[in-house]
Structures are given as C-alpha cells and as structure tokens.
Structure 1
Amino acid sequence: MYEQDSFFNAMKRGFMRIPSVIRTIIAISVIVFIIQAVVGSIRVGNTSINHYIIQYLAFDPNLFTAITQPWRFFTYIFLHGGGFHLLFNMLWLWWMGRSVEETIGPRSFSVLFFGSGIGGAVFHIALSFLYGTSYVIGASGAVFGVMVAFAYMFPRMPIMLLFLPPIEARFVVAGLIALDVLFIGAGDNVARLVHLGGAGVGYLLIKAHYQGKDLSSIVRPIERLWQEKPKKAKRKKNKNMYSVSDVEIVEEKNQSELDEILEKISKQGYDGLTKEEKKKLFDLSKKN
C-alpha cells in the first residue's frame, strides 16, 4: 500500500509540475478521450453516441457550417481518433511546449496554442475546394504551431528521435512540415492542411511576440469575465478618525491590490505577473 501510494503521489507531483496551460490541455484531452471510449460502445439505434460527438464537435471545413457553428474551431482540438493519435499529440506538446510556455508565460502560450489550432482550421477552409470537406479532429494543428514556436526560440536545441542521432530542433520541425507538404492529398485521413496552417500561424504569432506584441492582451479581457471581484472586508468606522479618513481609504485600496497580486502569484507564479503588477508589488512591499 505504501509503495502504491508513493507511486500515485509521485505521478501527481510530476503532473502538477507541468506548466498550467499544457497541464489543462492534456487533462481535458484525456478526459474527453475516456468519454469517447466509454460511450463508443453505446448505440442509439444503429449509431454509436461517439458518432454524434464527432458529428457535432469535430471541425467541418464547410464554410456555412464553420460560420454558423463557431464552437467547432475549439472543440475539435480536444477530440482524437485513437490512443496513438492522442499520445503523440500530447507528447509533442509536452516535449516542446513546456519550454515555450515557461518562457512566454501561460496567457501568451494559450494564444499561441489556440490561435494555431484556429488558424489551421481556417487554412483548411480556404483550400477545402481542392481537398474536400471531411471532418477534422485532433490537436495536431495547434501542436504544430507550438513546435514551430519552439524551433524559432531554440533553433539549435538537440532533439532525440528514435534510432537517430540528436538533430537540431529547426531541422526536426522543418522535416515534419516538409512531409506534410509532400503528402498533401495522399488520402491517408491526416489533416495536413490543418498542420500547415497551424505551423504558419504559430510562426506569425511567436514572431509578433518577439517583435514586442503583447499576445496576452488578447486573453486578459476574457479572463476578467470569469474572475470574481474580491470581496472587501467591511471596516467599522471610527467616529474619532474623521481627520484621517483619506488615509484609511488609501490603505484599504493598497491592501486590496496587494491581495489580488498575491493570489495571482499563488495560482500562476511570479512570472505570471505583468510588468505593472511587479512594479506595484515592489512599491507596496516598500510601504509595508
């Protein structure tokens, strides 16, 4: 029992060390895959429930469907066609995405990942008249964007592939992209247009980041919608302190801001703070 408990605790600790956005993506993808596997054998009439999941959540390159059912741009990323499909996508995401998220931060990384996934889908729509409009599932387009970002940031980082000597990241990623270009239209049920579109958008986003564009600014307005405003503790007024009431207001405001910053650090770490928040924390620490 002790060894078993230690094993699961070690697994949990290792999983929690994965950067937050990648950890969330992996968790959702695995949960969705388990649901697909469980309901795959359940049938409604002659059709399995998994068929309906694919039908309503997979990406459909048909332009009318894409416009009228925009959720598909996101949901298709978390659906996978099999265990190896899921495994390889999540392994590539973990291998290369970890350093990218730790470097650019979770907000910018989420824009990179989902932007690449959406961009890959849009690219598929643009060329669907040549290669058909079959359903697309999987995180491959988004993962390709992350891989291109990794190669852009760490071009000479050696990558160990099975039975091969270490190869620089830029050559590994370039080789995978070249294979997709070579096998476009091969009829092997691989969404190569999504891969290429995701790679292209990933390149544009990471380049914009290093040119000074704040990718996280895209996420912040959405994040604010989900965050609850912290409840301020009501203080009883002291009738004998009218002369210092302005000081009390300033102190309460500072304390509230400090609490928000400390809560953010506990969730995302110090690196998750913006430059303004880091400066504010420094100024408040001096006052306290």
Structure 2
Amino acid sequence: MNEYRPGGFQILPPVVKNLLIINVLVYAATYILQKTHIVDLDYYLALFHWSSPLFKPWQIVTHMFMHDQSNITHLLFNMFALWMFGSAIENTLGPKKFLIFYFVCGIGAAICYSLVFTWENAADIQWFHQLSNLQQHQIVDQLVATKYGPKQAFPMVSPMLGASGAIFGLLFAFGYLFPDAMIYLYFFVPIKAKYFVAIYAAIELFSGIRNNPADNVAHFAHIGGMIFAYLLLLFWKKSKRFVRY
C-alpha cells in the first residue's frame, strides 16, 4: 500500500461497523438517561481508579464505549479514526484477530493509565484510605454531586473514559503495517504513516510528562495503547501467528 486517504464509508468491515454502532448508541443512551435524570452511566461504566469506591471491575472494558457528553468531538474524532485506521487493519488481520487487538489495546491503555495515575497521586490515595469508610463516602458523594469536582482538587474521583487508548493502538498498528502509506492531514497535507505515528507519540509523551493540571486528556492511556499494540504485533510476528482470521 503506497497511499491511504479517507474517501468515504464504502469500506466498512463488520467489526469496525459494529463498534461504531455500539459507541454511538451508548453515547445517545448516556445523553438521554442523563437529561431525563434516570441514571448517569458515567458512574457505572467510565473507569475509576481501582482504589476508588466508584471502581467496578467491568469498567476496564466499558470505559472504551463511553465518551465526554460535554464535547461531542471526543466521540466524532475517535469514531472517524476507528473507521480510517481500523478498516485497513481489520481487512489485514481479519475480524477475530482485529477484535482481540482492539480490546487488548484498550485494556492495556487502561492499565498503563492506572499505573501512572497511582504513581502521580500516591499521596492523595494514601490520605484517602486513612479515612473511615463514612468519611470516604461523604467525600465521594460531595464530589459526585458536582460531577466529580475539579480534577486537580481530588483526581481519584475523576473517571477516564473513551476509546482513545484503543484508537492509538490502531494508529500505531497502521504505522507498523503500512509505514510508507500516505496519510493526508486535513485531507491535503501528505505525510508517511510511520512519521505521523512517531510525531504523534512524541507529542503524547511530552504532554503526559508535562502533566498540565488544566489538560483533561489521559495521555498515558494513549501511550499505553501504543505500547500494547507494539507488544501484541511483535508477539504475533515472533510466534508466526500473523495470519488473517
């Protein structure tokens, strides 16, 4: 492949198509349920830190289908990238292997984010768990009442959500499988996939290390998605399992 430019939705493999549908339906359901005050799915499906009273094991998977209700571009960008890069990768790996790859990247992103989060917020986590259960729940209830409160005030109660970790895994895989393919930025500026991925990874790493309190992006989840993408692709290559199925 020498060139890759989005030209419409004429290429839509089954797994990518179903992931798009599920993400849009979950976004719509979350919006409706929030606006009608029935339930806020963010509390149950977004990913909270494992030491938080709001954490549930299934959130490691379900957070990948939740997106920021205050910013629809979060969903739109992820879904466009899922189609743009995911279609080529699913056509290369096959639906079953692509689905495995997608979830490994998303779960790996969550693990990396949580590990970095634990390191960055060790003092807050230690302080919180020195409190009584009643005090812990009072703090959580107060912050939840204000939609978690400012991230910098008590980050442990701020959830991570979105498919971005898995998407960055797909981005890495695209650069790995099609290094010389041309990606057209803004549809007219060409750049080779391998350079695009390298530049994007460097920006994410710099942004994560910088750790701007006003930045509400889980940069290390993005890096984690890329790391797990590389490890899985390397494993398949070394074990000679790079077979489409």
Q: Same fold (TM over 0.5)?
A: yes
TM-score of the two chains, using structure 1 as the length reference: 0.63
1:180-235 Cα shifts (integer Å, max 9, x gaps): 1111212311111111111100111112222235489xxxxxxxxxxxxxxxxxxx
**Matches of residues 16-31 of structure 1 in structure 2 within 5 Å?**
17-31=11-25
- Aligned pair 1:207/2:234, yes or no? yes
Alignment-derived partner of residue 159 in structure 1:
183
- By how many angstroms is 1:63 displaced? 4.3
Asked if the contact 1:100–1:146 (Cα under 8 Å) also holds between the matched residues in 2, the reply is yes
- Distance (Å, rounded) in 2 between the aligned partners of 1:178 and 1:164: 23
- Aligned pair 1:61/2:49, yes or no? yes
Q: Secondary structure at the match of 1:160?
A: strand
Alignment-derived partner of residue 275 in structure 1:
none
1:149 to 173, 176, 183: 173
CA gap 1:16/1:166 in 2 versus in 1, 3 angstroms? closer
Alignment-derived partner of residue 97 in structure 1:
86
- By how many angstroms is 1:29 displaced? 0.1
1:135 to 151, 154, 159: 159
Report the AA paired with residue 212 of structure 2: A
1:136-166 Cα shifts (integer Å, max 9, x gaps): 0000000101110110000110000027620
Asked if the contact 2:89–2:173 (Cα under 8 Å) also holds between the matched residues in 1, the reply is yes
Alignment-derived partner of residue 123 in structure 1:
112
- Distance (Å, rounded) in 2 between the aligned partners of 1:83 and 1:140: 14
Q: Which runs of 5+ in 1 are unaligned?
A: 1-13, 217-270, 273-288
- Distance (Å, rounded) in 1 between the aligned partners of 2:222 and 2:169: 8
- By how many angstroms is 1:15 displaced? 6.2
1:223-248 Cα shifts (integer Å, max 9, x gaps): xxxxxxxxxxxxxxxxxxxxxxxxxx
Matched length: 198
- Distance (Å, rounded) in 2 between the aligned partners of 1:160 and 1:125: 33
Report the AA paired with residue 78 of structure 1: F
Q: Secondary structure at the match of 1:159?
A: strand
Alignment-derived partner of residue 196 in structure 1:
223
Q: Secondary structure at the match of 1:70?
A: coil
Asked if the contact 1:63–1:125 (Cα under 8 Å) also holds between the matched residues in 2, the reply is no
Report the AA paired with residue 177 of structure 1: A
**Matches of residues 200-239 of structure 1 in structure 2 within 5 Å?**
200-212=227-239, 214=241
Alignment-derived partner of residue 264 in structure 1:
none
Q: Comparing 195-204 with 170-179, which one deviates more in the overlay?
A: 170-179
- Distance (Å, rounded) in 1 between the aligned partners of 2:45 and 2:116: 21
TM-score of the two chains, using structure 2 as the length reference: 0.74
1:116-135 Cα shifts (integer Å, max 9, x gaps): 11001111121113155331
- By how many angstroms is 1:24 displaced? 1.0
Question: Which structure exhibits the higher relative contact order, with contacts defined as CA atoms closer than 8 Å and separated by 6 or more residues?
Answer: 2
- By how many angstroms is 1:171 displaced? 1.1
- Distance (Å, rounded) in 2 between the aligned partners of 1:109 and 1:69: 26
- Distance (Å, rounded) in 2 between the aligned partners of 1:215 and 1:63: 38
Higher helix share: 1
- Distance (Å, rounded) in 2 between the aligned partners of 1:97 and 1:138: 16
CA gap 1:174/1:25 in 2 versus in 1, 3 angstroms? same
- Aligned pair 1:186/2:212, yes or no? yes
Asked if the contact 1:61–1:121 (Cα under 8 Å) also holds between the matched residues in 2, the reply is no
What percent of counterpart residues are identical? 34
**Matches of residues 63-78 of structure 1 in structure 2 within 5 Å?**
63=51, 69-78=56-65
Report the AA paired with residue 72 of structure 1: Q
Q: CA RMSD in A?
A: 2.3
Alignment-derived partner of residue 221 in structure 1:
none
Q: Secondary structure at the match of 1:69?
A: coil
